[in-house]
Amino acid sequence: MADATWLAAHPEARASDLMEAFADPSIRGIVSTIGGDDSIRLLPFLDLALIRDNPKPFLGYSDSTVIHFACSKAGVVSFYGPSIMAGFGENGGLFPYMVSSVRQNLFCTEAAGQIAPNTDGWTCERLEWAEPELQSQSRKLHPCSGWRWLKGTGIHRGRLMGGCVEVVDWLRGSPVWPDLAVWRESVLFLELSEEAIAPSALVRILRSIAATGALQAVRGILFGRPYGEESSFGAYEMALLEVCRELGLESLPVVTQMDFGHTDPMFVIPYGIEAEIDCDRQQLRYTEASVR
Protein backbone atom coordinates (compact mmCIF):
# COMPACT_ATOMS: atom_id res chain seq x y z
CA MET A 1 0.00 0.00 0.00
CA ALA A 2 1.46 3.35 -1.04
CA ASP A 3 2.03 6.18 1.42
CA ALA A 4 -0.78 8.77 1.36
CA THR A 5 1.66 11.65 0.90
CA TRP A 6 3.27 9.90 -2.07
CA LEU A 7 -0.14 9.18 -3.60
CA ALA A 8 -1.14 12.81 -3.24
CA ALA A 9 1.89 13.75 -5.33
CA HIS A 10 1.27 11.08 -7.97
CA PRO A 11 -2.24 11.27 -9.47
CA GLU A 12 -1.05 8.98 -12.26
CA ALA A 13 -0.75 6.17 -9.67
CA ARG A 14 -4.34 6.69 -8.54
CA ALA A 15 -5.49 6.72 -12.15
CA SER A 16 -3.55 3.51 -12.78
CA ASP A 17 -5.34 1.81 -9.88
CA LEU A 18 -8.68 2.85 -11.34
CA MET A 19 -7.76 1.65 -14.83
CA GLU A 20 -6.61 -1.69 -13.42
CA ALA A 21 -9.96 -2.05 -11.68
CA PHE A 22 -11.80 -1.46 -14.96
CA ALA A 23 -9.53 -3.84 -16.85
CA ASP A 24 -9.70 -6.70 -14.30
CA PRO A 25 -12.54 -9.06 -15.35
CA SER A 26 -12.78 -10.46 -11.82
CA ILE A 27 -13.89 -7.04 -10.54
CA ARG A 28 -17.63 -6.65 -11.15
CA GLY A 29 -18.02 -3.05 -9.99
CA ILE A 30 -16.17 -0.07 -8.52
CA VAL A 31 -17.34 2.04 -5.56
CA SER A 32 -15.62 5.29 -4.65
CA THR A 33 -14.20 5.37 -1.11
CA ILE A 34 -15.11 9.03 -0.62
CA GLY A 35 -15.08 12.34 -2.50
CA GLY A 36 -12.47 15.07 -2.23
CA ASP A 37 -11.39 17.98 -4.39
CA ASP A 38 -8.66 16.85 -6.80
CA SER A 39 -9.91 13.95 -8.93
CA ILE A 40 -9.58 16.31 -11.87
CA ARG A 41 -5.81 15.71 -11.62
CA LEU A 42 -6.46 12.13 -12.78
CA LEU A 43 -7.97 13.20 -16.11
CA PRO A 44 -4.75 13.21 -18.17
CA PHE A 45 -4.05 9.63 -17.10
CA LEU A 46 -7.46 8.05 -17.74
CA ASP A 47 -7.82 5.69 -20.70
CA LEU A 48 -11.32 6.25 -22.07
CA ALA A 49 -10.92 3.43 -24.61
CA LEU A 50 -10.13 1.02 -21.78
CA ILE A 51 -13.25 2.15 -19.89
CA ARG A 52 -15.35 1.78 -23.05
CA ASP A 53 -14.06 -1.75 -23.71
CA ASN A 54 -14.50 -2.88 -20.09
CA PRO A 55 -17.82 -1.42 -18.95
CA LYS A 56 -18.80 -2.02 -15.34
CA PRO A 57 -20.71 -0.07 -12.69
CA PHE A 58 -18.88 2.83 -11.07
CA LEU A 59 -20.65 4.32 -8.04
CA GLY A 60 -19.85 7.50 -6.13
CA TYR A 61 -20.71 11.18 -5.85
CA SER A 62 -19.23 14.63 -5.16
CA ASP A 63 -15.64 14.76 -6.53
CA SER A 64 -16.33 11.46 -8.32
CA THR A 65 -18.24 13.62 -10.82
CA VAL A 66 -14.91 13.74 -12.69
CA ILE A 67 -14.87 9.97 -13.15
CA HIS A 68 -18.54 9.97 -14.11
CA PHE A 69 -17.89 12.50 -16.89
CA ALA A 70 -15.03 10.31 -18.12
CA CYS A 71 -17.30 7.25 -18.15
CA SER A 72 -19.98 9.19 -19.97
CA LYS A 73 -17.47 10.38 -22.57
CA ALA A 74 -16.46 6.73 -23.02
CA GLY A 75 -20.10 5.75 -23.54
CA VAL A 76 -20.43 3.81 -20.27
CA VAL A 77 -23.31 4.19 -17.78
CA SER A 78 -22.13 5.04 -14.26
CA PHE A 79 -24.05 5.79 -11.09
CA TYR A 80 -24.21 8.95 -8.99
CA GLY A 81 -24.83 7.64 -5.50
CA PRO A 82 -23.34 6.60 -2.16
CA SER A 83 -19.64 6.03 -1.58
CA ILE A 84 -18.10 3.60 0.90
CA MET A 85 -17.49 6.08 3.72
CA ALA A 86 -20.28 8.55 2.92
CA GLY A 87 -23.22 6.27 2.32
CA PHE A 88 -22.40 2.61 2.91
CA GLY A 89 -20.54 3.47 6.13
CA GLU A 90 -23.61 5.07 7.69
CA ASN A 91 -23.53 5.25 11.49
CA GLY A 92 -26.24 3.13 13.06
CA GLY A 93 -27.04 1.19 9.88
CA LEU A 94 -27.93 1.83 6.27
CA PHE A 95 -30.93 3.92 5.25
CA PRO A 96 -33.56 1.65 3.63
CA TYR A 97 -34.35 4.34 1.00
CA MET A 98 -30.73 4.32 -0.21
CA VAL A 99 -30.46 0.51 -0.13
CA SER A 100 -33.64 0.18 -2.17
CA SER A 101 -32.36 2.61 -4.80
CA VAL A 102 -29.00 0.83 -5.11
CA ARG A 103 -30.75 -2.52 -5.58
CA GLN A 104 -33.23 -1.03 -8.03
CA ASN A 105 -30.58 0.55 -10.25
CA LEU A 106 -27.56 -1.75 -10.02
CA PHE A 107 -29.11 -5.18 -9.42
CA CYS A 108 -32.16 -5.12 -11.66
CA THR A 109 -32.25 -5.47 -15.44
CA GLU A 110 -35.58 -3.66 -15.75
CA ALA A 111 -36.20 0.10 -15.82
CA ALA A 112 -36.45 1.52 -12.31
CA GLY A 113 -39.67 3.32 -13.18
CA GLN A 114 -41.00 5.99 -10.85
CA ILE A 115 -38.54 7.42 -8.34
CA ALA A 116 -40.44 8.23 -5.18
CA PRO A 117 -39.37 10.98 -2.78
CA ASN A 118 -37.94 9.91 0.56
CA THR A 119 -40.47 10.23 3.38
CA ASP A 120 -38.46 8.82 6.30
CA GLY A 121 -36.55 11.99 7.19
CA TRP A 122 -33.28 13.47 5.89
CA THR A 123 -29.98 14.56 7.39
CA CYS A 124 -26.69 16.23 6.62
CA GLU A 125 -25.43 16.04 10.21
CA ARG A 126 -21.74 15.18 10.44
CA LEU A 127 -20.57 12.72 13.08
CA GLU A 128 -16.81 12.33 13.48
CA TRP A 129 -15.77 9.05 11.83
CA ALA A 130 -12.66 8.75 14.02
CA GLU A 131 -14.72 8.50 17.24
CA PRO A 132 -15.44 4.78 17.87
CA GLU A 133 -18.23 5.57 20.33
CA LEU A 134 -20.20 7.26 17.53
CA GLN A 135 -20.21 4.23 15.22
CA SER A 136 -23.62 3.04 16.40
CA GLN A 137 -25.15 6.49 16.88
CA SER A 138 -27.70 7.36 14.22
CA ARG A 139 -27.74 10.86 12.82
CA LYS A 140 -30.66 13.15 13.62
CA LEU A 141 -33.31 13.30 10.91
CA HIS A 142 -35.33 16.30 9.74
CA PRO A 143 -38.92 15.80 8.56
CA CYS A 144 -39.28 15.46 4.79
CA SER A 145 -41.32 18.16 3.09
CA GLY A 146 -41.14 16.57 -0.37
CA TRP A 147 -39.59 17.74 -3.60
CA ARG A 148 -40.36 21.24 -4.87
CA TRP A 149 -41.71 21.54 -8.42
CA LEU A 150 -40.79 25.16 -9.11
CA LYS A 151 -41.94 25.43 -12.71
CA GLY A 152 -42.75 23.54 -15.88
CA THR A 153 -45.77 21.82 -17.41
CA GLY A 154 -46.22 18.65 -19.40
CA ILE A 155 -43.80 15.74 -19.91
CA HIS A 156 -40.11 16.21 -20.68
CA ARG A 157 -37.59 13.44 -21.41
CA GLY A 158 -33.82 13.42 -21.58
CA ARG A 159 -30.73 11.45 -20.62
CA LEU A 160 -29.36 12.11 -17.15
CA MET A 161 -26.19 14.19 -16.95
CA GLY A 162 -24.70 16.31 -14.17
CA GLY A 163 -23.19 15.95 -10.71
CA CYS A 164 -21.76 18.15 -7.97
CA VAL A 165 -22.15 21.69 -9.29
CA GLU A 166 -18.70 22.90 -8.23
CA VAL A 167 -17.01 19.94 -9.92
CA VAL A 168 -19.14 20.33 -13.04
CA ASP A 169 -17.87 23.90 -13.16
CA TRP A 170 -14.23 22.73 -12.96
CA LEU A 171 -14.78 20.38 -15.89
CA ARG A 172 -15.84 23.09 -18.35
CA GLY A 173 -13.46 23.00 -21.30
CA SER A 174 -11.85 19.71 -20.28
CA PRO A 175 -11.60 16.75 -22.69
CA VAL A 176 -14.54 15.02 -20.99
CA TRP A 177 -16.95 17.94 -21.24
CA PRO A 178 -19.94 16.68 -23.26
CA ASP A 179 -20.57 17.93 -26.76
CA LEU A 180 -23.50 20.27 -27.23
CA ALA A 181 -25.40 17.47 -28.96
CA VAL A 182 -25.26 15.49 -25.70
CA TRP A 183 -26.62 18.41 -23.68
CA ARG A 184 -29.52 18.78 -26.12
CA GLU A 185 -30.63 15.26 -25.17
CA SER A 186 -30.07 15.71 -21.42
CA VAL A 187 -31.86 16.26 -18.16
CA LEU A 188 -29.36 18.11 -15.98
CA PHE A 189 -29.01 17.10 -12.33
CA LEU A 190 -26.98 19.27 -9.96
CA GLU A 191 -26.27 19.39 -6.23
CA LEU A 192 -24.02 21.34 -3.87
CA SER A 193 -21.05 20.06 -1.85
CA GLU A 194 -20.68 20.36 1.91
CA GLU A 195 -18.89 23.69 1.37
CA ALA A 196 -22.35 25.17 0.77
CA ILE A 197 -21.36 27.93 -1.64
CA ALA A 198 -23.32 31.17 -1.52
CA PRO A 199 -26.40 31.45 -3.77
CA SER A 200 -24.59 34.25 -5.64
CA ALA A 201 -21.75 31.80 -6.42
CA LEU A 202 -24.32 29.34 -7.78
CA VAL A 203 -25.61 32.09 -10.08
CA ARG A 204 -22.09 32.66 -11.42
CA ILE A 205 -21.50 28.94 -12.00
CA LEU A 206 -24.81 28.54 -13.81
CA ARG A 207 -23.98 31.53 -15.99
CA SER A 208 -20.63 29.94 -16.82
CA ILE A 209 -22.32 26.67 -17.80
CA ALA A 210 -24.73 28.71 -19.90
CA ALA A 211 -21.76 30.30 -21.68
CA THR A 212 -20.98 26.85 -23.12
CA GLY A 213 -24.55 26.57 -24.45
CA ALA A 214 -25.27 23.58 -22.21
CA LEU A 215 -27.84 25.14 -19.88
CA GLN A 216 -29.98 26.46 -22.74
CA ALA A 217 -29.95 23.02 -24.38
CA VAL A 218 -31.12 20.77 -21.53
CA ARG A 219 -34.69 19.53 -21.16
CA GLY A 220 -35.02 19.95 -17.41
CA ILE A 221 -33.12 20.62 -14.19
CA LEU A 222 -33.16 18.38 -11.12
CA PHE A 223 -31.56 19.99 -8.06
CA GLY A 224 -30.52 18.05 -4.96
CA ARG A 225 -31.32 19.15 -1.42
CA PRO A 226 -28.60 21.68 -0.53
CA TYR A 227 -26.17 20.92 2.25
CA GLY A 228 -26.86 22.95 5.38
CA GLU A 229 -29.79 24.65 7.06
CA GLU A 230 -33.25 24.32 5.56
CA SER A 231 -33.71 28.08 5.84
CA SER A 232 -31.13 28.51 3.05
CA PHE A 233 -32.91 26.32 0.49
CA GLY A 234 -35.13 29.09 -0.86
CA ALA A 235 -32.15 31.29 -1.73
CA TYR A 236 -30.70 28.57 -3.97
CA GLU A 237 -34.06 28.15 -5.66
CA MET A 238 -34.18 31.88 -6.34
CA ALA A 239 -30.70 31.62 -7.88
CA LEU A 240 -31.87 28.87 -10.24
CA LEU A 241 -34.94 30.84 -11.26
CA GLU A 242 -32.91 34.03 -11.74
CA VAL A 243 -30.60 32.40 -14.28
CA CYS A 244 -33.53 30.72 -16.05
CA ARG A 245 -35.19 34.13 -16.43
CA GLU A 246 -31.97 35.64 -17.79
CA LEU A 247 -31.80 32.92 -20.44
CA GLY A 248 -35.48 33.02 -21.30
CA LEU A 249 -35.98 29.44 -20.10
CA GLU A 250 -39.46 30.09 -18.76
CA SER A 251 -40.84 26.67 -19.75
CA LEU A 252 -37.85 24.62 -18.54
CA PRO A 253 -38.90 22.21 -15.74
CA VAL A 254 -37.06 22.81 -12.46
CA VAL A 255 -37.43 20.44 -9.51
CA THR A 256 -35.54 21.13 -6.27
CA GLN A 257 -34.87 19.74 -2.78
CA MET A 258 -34.50 16.26 -4.25
CA ASP A 259 -32.97 13.31 -2.37
CA PHE A 260 -29.53 13.05 -3.97
CA GLY A 261 -26.03 14.38 -3.40
CA HIS A 262 -24.75 15.70 -0.09
CA THR A 263 -27.91 14.70 1.76
CA ASP A 264 -28.94 11.36 3.20
CA PRO A 265 -30.58 9.12 2.35
CA MET A 266 -30.04 9.54 -1.38
CA PHE A 267 -31.39 7.90 -4.49
CA VAL A 268 -29.08 6.73 -7.27
CA ILE A 269 -28.87 8.56 -10.61
CA PRO A 270 -27.59 6.56 -13.61
CA TYR A 271 -25.75 8.67 -16.17
CA GLY A 272 -27.03 8.47 -19.72
CA ILE A 273 -30.29 6.72 -18.85
CA GLU A 274 -33.48 8.37 -20.07
CA ALA A 275 -35.52 10.12 -17.40
CA GLU A 276 -39.06 11.41 -17.73
CA ILE A 277 -40.18 14.51 -15.83
CA ASP A 278 -43.97 14.67 -15.59
CA CYS A 279 -44.62 18.16 -14.28
CA ASP A 280 -48.41 17.81 -14.14
CA ARG A 281 -48.32 14.62 -12.06
CA GLN A 282 -45.14 15.73 -10.30
CA GLN A 283 -43.38 12.44 -11.01
CA LEU A 284 -39.86 11.43 -12.04
CA ARG A 285 -39.35 8.13 -13.87
CA TYR A 286 -36.41 6.22 -15.30
CA THR A 287 -37.72 4.75 -18.53
CA GLU A 288 -34.91 2.32 -19.37
CA ALA A 289 -32.71 -0.14 -17.51
CA SER A 290 -29.28 0.86 -16.23
CA VAL A 291 -27.65 -2.58 -16.37
CA ARG A 292 -28.01 -5.72 -18.42
pLDDT tens digits, one per residue of 134-188: 888 999 999 999 999 999 999 999 999 999 999 999 999 999 999 999 999 999 9
CATH 3.50.30.60 fits 4-286, yes or no: yes
- Of 284, 266, 265, nearest to 275 by C-alpha is 284
The confidence score (pLDDT) of residue 267 equals 98
The confidence score (pLDDT) of residue 3 equals 84
Cα–Cα distances (Å) from 169 to 74, 85, 138, 203, 234, in that order, read 20, 25, 33, 12, 22
pLDDT tens digits, one per residue of 65-98: 999 999 999 999 999 999 999 999 998 899 999 9
Average pLDDT over residues 233-243: 97
Tell me if the pTM is above 0.85.
yes
The confidence score (pLDDT) of residue 178 equals 98
List of E strands, the chain: 30-31, 58-60, 79-80, 113-114, 148-151, 155-164, 186-191, 221-224, 254-258, 269-270, 274-278, 283-286
Contact 256, 220 (CB under 8 A): no
